[in-house]
Amino acid sequence: MTMAYSMQFPPQVLFGAGAVEQLPGKLPAGAKILLVIGASARHNGLQKKLETLLADFELTIICGVMPEPDLDEVDRIIDVGRQNKVNAVVAVGGGSVMDAAKAASCIIANPGSIRDYFNGSRSIIDRNGIFLAALPTTSGTGAEITPNAVFIDPESSIKKSIRHQYIIPDLAIVDPVLTVSAPSSVTAASGMDALTQAVEAHISRGATAFTDALSAQAVKLIMRSLENACKNPDDIQARSDMAEGSMLTALAFSQSGLGAVHGIGHPVGSCLHLAHGLTCAILLTPVLEWNKSVAGDKLAGLAALCGGTSADDFIRSVSALREKTGIPADFKEAGLKEEHFDFIVKNCRSGSMKANPADMSDQDVIAMLKRLS
């Protein structure tokens, strides 16, 4: 059997504590920059630090991007970029900030709006976007190096990703120091998202020896460090492990695909207005239970990295980590009800669902949702 290895990553990735200091020297000379940052940056001193670092550039600043951004939010960023004739975007924040900025940097240089590409009225992105640097402040999505961005259509409540090589940042700077100020709840949810991506990449139908190596190392780093990163936020070693684990898992899943946690998780999150990482954390254990009949050997291999020997050992370790980080085991408090099931089933049949190692019928999905509601 012939395998195709499609390598689509940023041309340059800088990793390590203090790497943010190198940002000015990596930007195009004389760039007019659109700086897109999370709302917390205004209060934790990061916005001021970035303004100082980028003092030699003309800046337009957008501070605050809604969690799970919708199409209107992205079009707002595109409009600001076009009005100010920017030729570079710097995105500093969590996955929502980076996804919104990634799509904006691409579409600023192309005709139309994000809605045109999301809904398919424009299917071709004709040319590369403007220069984009991505700096994550959470360890979760790995959006700083991936070719996709996830959005919600506020009119239909459909949540899905757009994917294109032109969405990949030109520069990724992964500095674990930038994640220190993230609240424990954000660290937990984003970390469980990264773990989910690593595990799903490892057992995906699209997994290869290349992605297996990356995803296995990511699982090892995250499983040993997430609890400590939540309880001791200033622990730079734990933060470094999480940042590296998140980055490695993105390198893996962008090649292998994901699985049913993400397939089901997107419409569940859309229905319940629940953070993506929380949704993934709750779904991960039951989906792994479903998949162990066909992916047991690979799950046992991951167990060996965490002191266990079997697929069941690994699943118990995942469930225990979720509990230790304060994330519930089901969607009862979030309000999942039977009235949501039809929307979830209709909108879960994504590429992620196709990559899941064990097939799931609509009735299988409903049965799982009933147990979690």
User: Is position 1 within any domain?
Assistant: no
State the residue range of the domain holding 187.
183-372
Q: Which of 125, 156, 178 is the last residue of a domain?
A: 178
Each residue of 304-350: pLDDT tens digit? 999 999 999 999 999 999 999 999 999 999 999 999 999 999 999 99
pLDDT above 70 (res 284): yes
In the chain, pLDDT over 70 holds for what percent of residues? Answer: 97
User: Is position 49 within any domain?
Assistant: yes
20 vs 117, more confident: 20
What is the domain count for the chain?
A: 2
Whether residues 156 and 264 share a domain: the answer is: no
Q: Which two tokens stand for residue 57?
A: 């550039």
Whether residues 208 and 291 share a domain: the answer is: yes
pLDDT above 80 (res 5): no
Whether residues 171 and 187 share a domain: the answer is: no
User: Is position 3 within any domain?
Assistant: no
User: Is position 2 within any domain?
Assistant: no
Each residue of 162-198: pLDDT tens digit? 888 888 999 999 999 999 999 999 999 999 999 999 9
Q: What is the CATH number of the domain that holds 260?
A: 1.20.1090.10
Whether residues 132 and 167 share a domain: the answer is: yes
Q: Which of 178, 211, 229 is the last residue of a domain?
A: 178
Q: What is the CATH number of the domain that holds 105?
A: 3.40.50.1970
Whether residues 163 and 281 share a domain: the answer is: no
Whether residues 312 and 189 share a domain: the answer is: yes
Whether residues 170 and 190 share a domain: the answer is: no
Whether residues 257 and 123 share a domain: the answer is: no
Whether residues 100 and 208 share a domain: the answer is: no
Least confident window among 158-172, 211-225, 281-295, 326-340: 158-172
User: Is position 7 within any domain?
Assistant: no
Whether residues 173 and 194 share a domain: the answer is: no
Whether residues 338 and 237 share a domain: the answer is: yes
Whether residues 44 and 79 share a domain: the answer is: yes
User: Is position 116 within any domain?
Assistant: yes
